Amino acid sequence: MMRKQIAAANWKMNLTLQQGEQLINDLLAKPHSLKENQQAIFAVPAPYLMMAQEKLGNKERVAVAAQNCYSKKSGAYTGEISVEMLQSIGVHYVVLGHSERREYFNESNPFLAEKIDICLANGVTPIFCCGEPLQIREAGKQNEFVGTQLNESLFHLSAADITKVVIAYEPIWAIGTGKTASSDQAQEMHAFIRAELAHQYGKETADQISILYGGSVKASNAVELFAQPDVDGGLVGGASLIADEFVAIINALK
Ligand code: PEP
């Protein structure tokens, strides 16, 4: 099986409903080519999930994602969003463990493991984010750091379940900074992540898992990044808010 190549948009906490609708309309009006092994995913703010689902839900090779969900099934968790709620509106993807959530909302590796579990138990695909801060990169300890994130949040999964997870490597020093990892730095880390997966689950399983790069992906660097053998597309913040940019990023998938 050829693993999926994915362009995922992360709108974060941006745009009004009207601006979000306009952006989707603009995107749909532009020529784009999604081949059979390719997919575009839109992680929109929670209040816009149904709007996005209505506009994009019936499009082939296109999916809508939540930016977060909670680790519990239901109950007295005011303000949180359950996996069952996402399922009930037809949303089958969720971004988990984005560095902004880890940093500002104290999401830990074990807490994310719980979120991963409830998603997989309910047929929702997690887009699991990992990646090191600048001081770890400068100390040359990025593999150890990302290895621990994988270990503590994912490696309790069965081989069957790990193939249902999408991994996004996002070095924190490259997110929203305009500073992109070089294609060599991205490939090096993606190869490491795939080797860790192979070590844990075998090569055949590791080869099925999509590993996206995130961190200042733009139309101008997407082709080179996505051309790397272990880079299976991107998770895109800033550039996903500009229709021309994001369409070009979709068209850069291999
Ligand atoms: C992100 O939010 O996941 C991201 C990579 O942001 P940006 O593309 O703006 O760096």
Catalytic residues: 98, 170
3-state helix, strand, coil in the chain (%, to 5): 45, 15, 40
Q: Determine the pLDDT at residue 33.
A: 80
Q: Does ligand 1 have an atom closer than 6 angstroms to the CB of 237?
A: yes
Q: Taking the model in full, what pTM does it have? A: 0.97
pLDDT tens digits, residue range 232-247?
999 999 999 999 999 9
Q: Determine the pLDDT at residue 253.
A: 97
Nearest to 232 by CA among 198, 208, 202, 215: 208
**223 Cβ contact partners less than 8 Å away, ≥ 6 residues apart:** 252
H or E, element range at 245:
helix 243-251
Residue bearing the CA closest to ligand 1, atom 8: 237
CB count in 10 Å sphere of residue 155: 15
Q: Determine the pLDDT at residue 1.
A: 58
Tell me, in angstroms, the distance from the centre of ligand 1 to residue 202's CA.
30
Q: Does ligand 1 have an atom closer than 6 angstroms to the CB of 217?
A: yes
- Residue of 67, 211, 217, 242 to mutate, ligand 1, most atoms within 8 A of C-beta: 217
CA distance 91 to 207: 26
Domains of the chain: 5-251 (3.20.20.70)
Kindly give the number of the ligand 1 atom that is closest to the alpha carbon of 217: 8
CB count in 10 Å sphere of residue 102: 20
Please identify which residue in the block is written with the tokens 């850069």.
252
Digitized pLDDT (tens) for each residue of the chain, 254 residues in all? 589 999 999 999 999 999 999 999 999 999 878 999 999 999 999 999 999 999 999 999 999 999 999 999 999 999 999 999 999 999 999 999 999 999 999 999 999 999 999 999 999 999 999 999 999 999 999 999 999 999 999 999 999 999 999 999 999 998 878 778 899 999 999 999 999 999 999 999 999 999 999 999 999 999 999 999 999 999 999 999 999 999 999 999 99
Residue bearing the CA closest to ligand 1, atom 7: 237
